[in-house]
Amino acid sequence: MGRLKHIERSYRRKGLNVTFYNNAVSNRTGDIVTIYSDTNFDIDWGAGILDTAIDNKNNMTEYKVRTIDIVHFIRNQIVPLKPKEVFMKMDIEGSEYIVLPQMIQTSTLCKDVITSFVIEMHEWAKKPMGSTLTFDDVRNMLGKQGCVPSEMVSVDDESYLHDIPRDPSW
């Protein structure tokens, strides 16, 4: 059982409805992208789709992964559940430059859809993704959605890597 499945089951035992998906987040569904990971994919560390940012591909494992449209996913999988609050952690290794504009255009980053979210914006990915978007730009755009915007916090925290003991049998 991989690390993510272990965490998923732990949350479920505590009564939380949690499901992890092995998909790449995008603004479109169905594309196949290559994920480069420096460890086992199920351990979930060091993965990304921007091969130009990966120096050592020979020592990495490639996985073919289907993309999901994050707005479609939220609107069709999360919103119908009518949760009291939705918290989103966005650390998607450069794809934030693709999905954030779409999420804002569709008013997905409104407090009645996503209550709050933390985001890691990867400066190194701006140029390869053809973006100039900054955290401040996103904050300004949130206020122009015509709704009460989601609460947004910038964070770069990898402490989750140590939230449970690592079991070599995963």
Query: How many Å apart are CA 137 and CA 134, to the nearest integer?
Result: 5
All structural domains of the chain with their residue ranges: 3-162
Strand order in the sheet with 116-119: 87-90, 116-119, 151-154
User: Is the whole-model pTM more than 0.75?
Assistant: yes
- pLDDT per residue as tens digits for the range 63-107: 888 999 999 999 999 999 999 999 998 888 889 999 999 999 999
- pLDDT per residue as tens digits for the range 109-152: 999 999 999 999 988 889 988 999 999 999 999 988 889 999 99
Collapsing DSSP states into helix, strand and coil, what is residue 87? Answer: strand
Residue 131, sorted as left (phi over 0), alpha (psi -120 to 50) or beta, turns out to be beta
